[in-house]
Amino acid sequence: MHRILRTALQSVALVASLANRAPLYSAEIESCGVEIIVLGIAQDAGMPQLGNPADPAWLDRSKRRLATSLGLIDHRHRQRYLFEATPDLREQLQRLDEVQRWPDRGLGIAGIFLTHAHIGHYAGLIFLGHESAGADGVVVYAMPRMAEYLGNHGPWDQLVRYRNIVLAPLADGTDMELTDGLSVTPHRVPHRDEYSETVGFSIAGPNRALLFIPDIDSWDRWESEFGMRIEDQLAEHDLAYVDATFYDDHELPGRDMTAIPHPRISTMMDRFDALPTTERRKLRFIHLNHTNPARYPDSEQSRTIRQRGYRVAEEGERECL
């Protein structure tokens, strides 16, 4: 009886989870030629995370979140792109199918843009291999070190040899034109670069532009090392999905958090509070660690974020470009 009751409750929780991630979009999205959809907002390991049995998301599916990813849909040319190939790729592609799928296009992935070689950002490529989808020639856009890593190290090189994926080179600051009025530009950012460089992306659609930087060590270092000032980039973009791994320095007891140099939400708000309201509204916090209290909409930290004019990204939200 208890097992039946628990199964029923889990089913209810699953329905609630699906409802909570229903696509969020404005009325004009119906006539939108190019749009993005948020497919995940969590840090690489997702929510709940392995080895954390007390996480409420194990029992309450509505609290589960997938690793950070964006989907890009060009309805005009019937093309879809992914930003990141996360370990949650299977469910994320299904979510993208629920928004727009063309049955005659196979997997329907015209290309995948990778930011760097940390597990939450490229490990989902395994599902394109012959043990899984057996994909044929999915284009993977990657920076030079990232492409070298995939092409010359197992098991990734097998994807290349079997032509499950085709590597397409990117260059820092150079536009990659996808279709008319739609381009993607990589920008180097400071981060742990053990196996590859790290980039964020500027995605320019026919009418609006979006900045996507899921991993960065420091905004100050971005300016000093790469000559890119985040405030200038906000001015040039209509939306910005940025690294918000931690809320502050108190999330990991016993750990030296200075050794994990992501921008903190609390310090970012202090920095960006000087900006006009219109600029602050562009920011969407993404790539949240499972310890980040901003993952809970009813937390004190989430209320503070909203009161100060910012937003945490939501899975399923859609924006027209």
Does position 174 have pLDDT exceeding 50, yes or no?
Answer: yes
- For residue 135 the two structure tokens come to 């994909």
Residue 82 lies inside a defined structural domain of this protein: yes
Of the listed ranges 1-15, 87-101, 216-230, the least confidently predicted one is 1-15
**Alpha-carbon gap, residue 122 to 147, rounded angstroms:** 11
Residue 29 binned pLDDT confidence (cut-offs 50, 70, 90)? low
Q: Which two tokens stand for residue 262?
A: 């992501």
In a domain, 7, yes or no: no
Query: 200 lies in which domain range?
Result: 25-57+64-320
CATH of the domain at 37: 3.60.15.10
User: What are residue 3's phi and psi, to 5 degrees?
Assistant: -65, -40
Q: Is residue 2 part of a domain?
A: no
Q: Is residue 75 helix, strand or coil?
A: coil
Which tops the pLDDT comparison, 267 or 253? 267
Statement: residue 15 has pLDDT above 80: no
Q: Which pLDDT band holds residue 261 (cuts at 50, 70, 90)?
A: confident
195 belongs to a structural domain: yes
Cα-atom radius of gyration of the chain, to the nearest Å?
A: 19
Q: pLDDT grade, residue 25 (50/70/90)?
A: low
What is the reported pLDDT for 254?
A: 79
> What is the structure's pLDDT at 302?
98
pLDDT confidence bin for 274, thresholds 50/70/90:
very high
52-75 pLDDT tens trace:
999 999 999 999 999 999 999 999
Distance linking the first and last C-alpha atoms of the chain: 51
- In tens, the pLDDT along 185-212 reads 999 999 999 999 999 999 999 999 999 9
Q: Give 176's strand partners.
A: 184
**CA 278 – CA 215 distance, rounded (Å):** 24
For residue 159, give every residue at least 6 positions away whose Cβ sits within 8 Å of its Cβ, in sequence order, or none.
125, 128, 129, 150, 165
Answer for the pair 48, 64: CB distance below 8 angstroms, yes or no.
yes
Cα–Cα dist 211/201, whole Å: 6
157 is a domain residue: yes
**Three-class DSSP category at 253:** coil
Mean pLDDT of 290-304: 97
Cα 20 → chain centroid:
18
DSSP class of 282: T
Domain count within the chain:
1
Give the tens place of pLDDT for each residue, 141-167: 999 999 999 999 999 999 999 999 999
CA atoms within 13 A of residue 126's CA, in its CB half-sphere: 10
DSSP 177: E
8 has a pLDDT exceeding 70:
no
pLDDT score at 158: 97
Is 77 a domain residue? yes
Q: Is the pTM of the predicted complex or chain greater than 0.75?
A: yes
pLDDT at 252 over 90: no
Q: What is the mean pLDDT of residues 112-128?
A: 98
The percent of residues above 70 in pLDDT, for the chain, comes to: 91
Instruction: Indicate the pLDDT class of residue 256, thresholds 50, 70 and 90.
Output: confident
Confidence of residue 103 (pLDDT cuts 50, 70, 90): confident
Mean pLDDT for the chain overall: 91
Query: Does the residue 134 lie in any domain?
Result: yes
Inter-residue contact 264 to 246 (CB < 8 Å): yes
What is the pLDDT at residue 28?
55
The predicted model gives 6-28 an average pLDDT of 43
Token pair recorded at residue 76: 């005009």
